[in-house]
Amino acid sequence: MPLYMKSKDVNMINSLNNEIINKIIDTEVNVYKLSLYDTEEDLYGESLQKIYFPAVQLAGLIEHDDEAYESDEFGPDATQTVTFNFHRQKLEDINLYPEISDIIEYNNKQFMIDTIVENQFLGGQTSLNHSIICSAHLTKNSATKIDKIKRAYTENINSLYK
């Protein structure tokens, strides 16, 4: 532990960040983890249909670029990059670690994680890693089965209450 960064200081910083992210800003996203064992691969180790675990709702700080549109012979295509900042302590509490190819649902859109950065250290100490920053790009809903699964689940729930 560094000279000027005591465990009480770390606990206070974690408590403040937890309160700010979860109670004041309160921007929630759904994180879908890729299920490697359920996803079938072809001869080349690739998969056309990826299978994801059910969503985990999580609060974070979000920075996004504006949507851009590109047109080609197949029609217009939307692109957008978003940075999701998560509090490491919260992720450890719920035993969730985002990885490349996981899906984050935000603003009714799905974003696939491209890169993960973990270099925000308290007091410059690598043992006090403070956040996980995920950069993601907008993906088509048709590329994942998440939308179909959510619709089927909602239809089943609604039929129970009729």
- pLDDT digit string, tens, across residues 82-137: 999 999 989 999 999 999 999 999 998 999 999 999 988 877 777 788 899 999 99
As a whole-number percent, the residues of the chain with pLDDT over 90 amount to 36
pLDDT-derived band at 35 (thresholds 50, 70, 90) equals: confident
Q: E strand or H helix at 128, and its extent?
A: none
HSE-CB of 146 using CA atoms within 13 angstroms? 25
Tell me if residue 143 falls in helix, strand or coil: helix
Domain ranges of the chain: 7-160
- pLDDT at site 142: 58
User: At CB < 8 A and 24+ separation, what contacts does 4-9 make?
Assistant: 4/123, 5/122, 5/123, 5/125, 5/128, 9/122
